[in-house]
Amino acid sequence: MSSPDADLLSTAQFSFVDCHGRKIFLRGVNLSGSSKSPLDQPSHLLSHFWETAEAGGESFIGQPLNLEDGSADEHLARLRGWGFNLLRFPVTWEALERAGPKKYDYEYMDYIVRVLVKCKQYGFRVYMDPHQDTWSRFSGGSGAPFWTLPACGIDPYHISATQAALLHSEYPLPHNADPSTFPAMIWGTNYGRLFSLTLFTLFFAGRTFAPNCIIDDMNIQDYLQSHYISAFGELADRIRQADEEEGTGLRDACIIGWDTLNEPAEGLVSWDDLNKLPMKQGTTLKKGTTPTPAQSLRLGMGQPQTVECWDFGTFGPKRTGTVDVNPKGRKVWAEIDQCNGGELPDGTHPRWGWKRDISKWPLGTCVWALHGVWDIQSGYMLQPDYFKYHPTTGIEVEFMTDFWLPHFKAYGERIRSSHPNAILFVQPPVFALPPRVDEEILKGRCAYTGHYYDGLTLITKHWNWFNADSLGVLRGKYRYPLQAVKIGEKAIRKSLMEQIAMLKDDARLISTPCSLLPSTSPHNQYPTVIGEIGTPFDMDDKHAYFESKGDYKNQEKALDASLNACDGSNNVAYTVWTYIARGHSHQWGDAWNGEDLSLWSCDDMRCTYGNGDAGDAGCGGVSNGVESGLRARAKRWSGSEKAREAERKAKSESQARLLSGGGGRSTALLESANASMLSLNTISTRGTNLVPPLPGAGDEQEQLPTAPSILPTTSETSETSTATIISPSSSSLLLSSACHDDDPFDFLTDGARAVRAFCRPRPVKVLGEVVDTRFDIGKAEFKCVIRVPPSTSITSRNGQDEITTEFFIPLVHFASHKLLENSKVRWYGDVKMKKDKTMEMDPPKEYGYRSAEEDEMEEGRAVKKRVLEGIEDREDLFDIEVKVSHGRWNIKGQTLYWSYNQNLEVEEEMVIEVKRRGGAIKVRQGGWVEVPDTASLRERKKSWLCDCTDGCIIM
């Protein structure tokens, strides 16, 4: 067993550092965007939406993974097989405290603990993400519980009518909703509408700008923040209790830290003039109807307005005209008899329990009118710059230092009361500069986590031949916006890398000198994690789903450009948005506001069974034109509402058995997490006589015998040694369901979208400083340069084992020709095209269903294993060529271990190059083909031709 200190990562020298002093390179994914809502509650579904929320909402148990059917193991094995070692774990405030103030969902917290235990078993590092978008699901996003709306005096039923926010399920009008017409990414405009402008101002700056808003004898700012911080504090306590009582060992070994509130918004703070829209494109996206704050205030009180209408075109936002918005007298500010069914005249709420100070905060009136910002009768803005200056001192306010930083300090103190070693992730509003933070708060354990998306591609959902340096424009890099335009793929890729470099430099701004630390202390130099980065997969009107049937080449270009920007000389950590294990479909994407960024989809799975059963570990599939047993079962269930209700009840009872009642501890926490655990022993190959421990092995693990060397050990000189790996030695890898037989390549590519872009070779643990990493996916060539300072002080825990540099070498790019010949590539989409090119969607796939007859058949017998373990003595996994400037290397599974002299007299650069011996892998229907660099243009084109009728999959 490894010691706790051995598991602890440090943050120093702008890097994550392990106990040996190696730089740790973290790459991963957000698990998951589906956690924004309860199961079976996609954002486009209006039925019972409000009624369920008013009744206390539904549990989020089951998001992001199903722990009951074993599919969690398949998904985590897939993510690990892609080389990811970091997970950002979104959790919403609503999921923790949905039933009312201080009414915590402890069963959901225990479910989270069980998921985290399983993540730990797969070797993932995790940082927790208190996630929100435009405040809550009930204002068109995600995050806060429903009861925060009436607490702030909001009538939720008039949000859409007043355009205080745009809701997917109520678009364009609640009485005539058609969610399929919801414009792409328009949900982001909610940050500039009345609801978010008001709620974020109250949350961060209520004491300053809304002193009359008193509830339960405290200002609304303190009321909201105290509940928010307490809710996540309860979750941190639950994780600590699991460590102390169940021995889960989650803190530090798995959970490295906690993110701050996702993409916080300034609300109205620092707004120059409420009568005007901002001149620069920032948090307030201009798309669709775009009211000024003054117009939003009037609309909120039921006053019709003529507002500007904008669109986001090729060259950014453009004004397209005006439109009349008529709320027909409806107000977003609740009356006494309308506030969630009855706040009493004395300000007491019988359902939620608070008491409002009605002498200062009467319902039915705009809170900003109550504070003299504007006159309701005339609609005139009395103080258009009210939010720019402190109302008492008259001093200009600054959001990050005046309002965000005190919240960060209170939140961090509460989290560290349960997780003392937690790394605090500093996340300002998107593209905003982070504040200075005292080291007394950070304590040497901090990371900067900015977000970055290629905005033009994300909003237009098209990979363009030109782009723009949006971050550079916002930071004043150009005198004229036209100078920010980048033409051609080479220029675009360079620009994206420069923008990531700007975000990386922001980390230098965070910490201030501390009297407890030397001024030159490396603890003041914190790493950067790009918390969200990604690209839409439904580009060009979902062209890849039904016309090209799986051709994601444009998505691959876009995602490769973004992730390449995180490589190079930047070498920043990142977590891609997102991986949806449950609920993704070609029709509704990520099931949230029309977004479609998941790296994997069950609608993209392929299967080549003759028996029609795709196995239970995935989402179902189609095999040789025959529906899988799972999908057939899903159809039978979908035809019976009683059966669906019975299934939900059975699922709930199953969860109740695994979790103790009344919010108690799980009696079998580790057992339930281990129930369907897959082994992640990696695929092994013969290499040099250097045989390090297996990845994740503890000190007590028995070492494998040394494999015969095919590479002579080199002296520590600059001479280059070259070898080719053809034959692997014994090992094992637990993979997917029988749909993939024993083929790891099939498992890692099935259902993956643009997998070549995100499954990249990379450094993992490095002795020295990585100077540059380059990967050309078109040639399958990887190069890394490492600068090793003189006399590098690296020692192992026992003082004997050799500590090596490690790289991830993906099978996706470097698989052998023999392995590819046997791969299954047929792909059957769930989207069929009619002649009028409208989509005909098959019923949603659901996994985990078993009929009573099947249960009887399996009673008393060992249930068929969901996964295969027997990848032993494979002879055909890799065919790669490795060149190193110094030392010797060995490869086990997808990990390459490189040993070189660490006791240098002068600084030296170490270089490693990896390439595939047949050239990059290309794909066509019927098989995977190699296209060597020497191939002619005609041969290259021919390799892409296909005479299939079932459709090609091109990753």
Neighbours of 122 (CB within 10 A): 22
Whether the upstream peptide bond of residue 667 has omega within 30° of 0, thus cis, is: no
From its phi and psi, is residue 751 left (phi > 0), alpha (psi between -120 and 50) or beta?
A: left
Q: Distance between CA atoms of 526 and 507, rounded to whole angstroms?
A: 6
Q: CA-CA distance, 510 to 529, in Å (whole number)?
A: 14
Beta strand ranges found along 442-599 (DSSP E)? 446-448, 466-468, 485-487, 529-530, 573-576
The residue type of 312 is F
Beta carbons within 8 Å of 831's beta carbon, 6+ residues apart: 542, 545, 546, 586, 587, 603, 839, 840, 841, 842
Phi, psi of 484 (to 5 degrees): -85, -10
3-state secondary structure of 659: coil
Select from 261, 773, 839, 808 the least CA-distant residue to 568: 773
The DSSP code sequence of 93-159 is: HHHHHTTSTT---HHHHHHHHHHHHHHHHTT-EEEEEEE-BSSBGGGTSB-B-TTHHHHTTB-GGGT
Our answer to whether residue 905 is catalytic in this structure is: no
Residues in the chain: 955
Q: Write down the catalytic residue from 532, 627, 846, 908.
A: 532
Do 750 and 796 touch, CB atoms closer than 8 A?
A: no
Q: Of 234, 263, 439, 781, which is the active-site residue?
A: 263
Q: What is the spatial distance between Cα 170 and Cα 726, in angstroms, rounded to a whole number?
A: 58
Give the other-Cβ count within 10 Å of 195's Cβ.
Answer: 29
How does strand 762-766 pair with strand 23-24? antiparallel
CA distance 739 to 750: 10
- Coil/strand/helix, residue 302: coil
Q: Answer whether 869's CB lies under 8 Å from 775's CB.
A: no
The label of the residue with tokens 């890097």 reads 15
Say whether 263 is catalytic: yes
Helix segments in 260-341, DSSP class H: 293-300
The distance of Cα 779 from the centroid of its chain, to the nearest Å, equals 29
Of 66, 38, 28, 58, nearest to 142 by C-alpha is 38
Q: CA dist 370 to 345, 367, 786, Å?
A: 18, 5, 62
Torsional sign, CA 142, 145, 149, 155: positive
> What are φ and ψ of residue 91, in 5° steps?
-135, 135
Q: Are strands 125-131 and 86-92 parallel, antiparallel or unpaired?
A: parallel
Which stretches does DSSP call E strand in 264-411?
A: 288-290, 305-313, 316-325
Beta strand ranges found along 385-508 (DSSP E): 423-426, 446-448, 466-468, 485-487
Q: Catalytic residues, which ones?
A: 263, 532
